[in-house]
Amino acid sequence: MRRTFFGASLALLLAVTACSGPEPTAAGPTPAGPSTGPPSGSRQSAAEAEQTLASLRKVDDLPMWEMTFVGDYDPTVGTDAAPPSPFGCSLFAAWGDRSRPLFARNFDWTANPALVLRTDPPDGYATVSLVDMSYLGVGADPTGDRRLLDAPLLPFDGMNERGLAVGLAADDAATARPAAGRSTVGSVRILRLVLDQAATVDEAVAVFKRHNLDFEGGPPLHYLLADATGASAVVEFVDGAMRVGKGQGNWQVLTNVPVVGVPEERRRTDHRYGVLAAGLTKAGGVVDARAALELLNDVRQGHTRWSVTYGLRTGEVHLRTAMGTERQYRLPVTLP
């Protein structure tokens, strides 16, 4: 799977007008100074670590950075995010045009530095993902900070080279009960395991089923999955048990309210869910990246940090930051 897989181009557009919304009341981790100690999850050589850090560059004043991780990492150990509440997000998958299924999300959180991360581990799929760097303890200027070498462990959303995408959102009602014989991973770390190991929604669900999730220290979460075939699913934890709701029709939406087993009429009483559902219904689930970003803008909050779309068959990634900067990337997708 090792290959040169990522191209980027910058397109500067007009700033996005922010929608009003509640500001977070809880602060994230306090950024610390640069660390010179070894990263806990890295399996890199010294040369690979230096090459990784040398690839870091700032792309806007969010601040948003980009970095290419060179070499390997152990996704089961090391830093784990435990984001405190509130943690609002809006996500959807749309496959009205089966030739161009799309995954989209707003990440709504505090004003932390963020990172577009490229990875291509020798034993997993190449991916592009977005990371809130504050959970690494990294500040606004992370230049030379070796804690960046743990960035692969904390994707908040992303897509891999098979066209499988995943994102998370808070679900205050979720409770996870550990099952015997399963290893336990953090509620953000599970995204890395999914991106590295799963090519389809069914394979991603199987990754979830092999692990217990740890919600300690942060809000409980639920997850949206989608793949290049047009399949999607929501993974939730209800009364301690994992439940999966497969996508029906030509779209699926996730915000911060439970959806598995909940009637659609009740789901739409949530404002952001209702706006996205109405827009996707009107479009018949057929949206390109530009239309998807505009839908995300309709549910944008005052603390939306980024909006991103993932083309699950094209490999195209369109990113819009809170500063209004837009960037485009491409991750070549090998279709199943």
Q: How confident is the model at residue 116 (pLDDT cuts 50, 70, 90)?
A: very high
- Cα separation of 49 and 276, whole Å? 41
**Pair 42, 50: CB distance under 8 Å:** no
Q: How confident is the model at residue 88 (pLDDT cuts 50, 70, 90)?
A: confident
Tokens of 14: 């007009």
The pLDDT value given to residue 327: 97
Q: Which fold has domain 41-74+88-323?
A: Penicillin V Acylase; Chain A (3.60.60)
The pLDDT value given to residue 87: 57
Q: How confident is the model at residue 31 (pLDDT cuts 50, 70, 90)?
A: very low
Residue, of 20 and 158, whose pLDDT is higher: 158
Tokens of 65: 């950075």
Tokens 């290419």 appear where? 68
Beta-carbon contacts of residue 336 (< 8 Å; ≥ 6 apart): 162, 199, 200, 228, 229
pLDDT (tens digit per residue) in 45-78: 999 999 999 999 999 999 999 999 999 999 887 6
- Cα separation of 317 and 102, whole Å? 10
Find the Cα–Cα–Cα–Cα dihedral 84, 241, 209, 224, rounded to 10°: -50
Beta-carbon contacts of residue 176 (< 8 Å; ≥ 6 apart): 212, 213, 214, 215, 220, 237, 240, 242
Please, which residues bridge with residue 224 across strands?
167, 234
- The greatest distance separating any two alpha carbons of the chain, rounded to the nearest whole angstrom, comes to 55
**Pair 242, 235: CB distance under 8 Å:** yes
- Cα separation of 165 and 243, whole Å? 19
| Range 264-285 burial, b when 16+ CB lie within 10 A, else e | eeebbebebbbbbbebbeebeb
Asked if residue 3 has pLDDT above 50, the reply is no
Provide the angle, in degrees to the nearest 10, between the axes of the packed helices 271-283 and 289-298: 150
- Cα separation of 304 and 111, whole Å? 9
pLDDT (tens digit per residue) in 285-321: 999 999 999 999 999 999 999 999 999 999 999 999 9
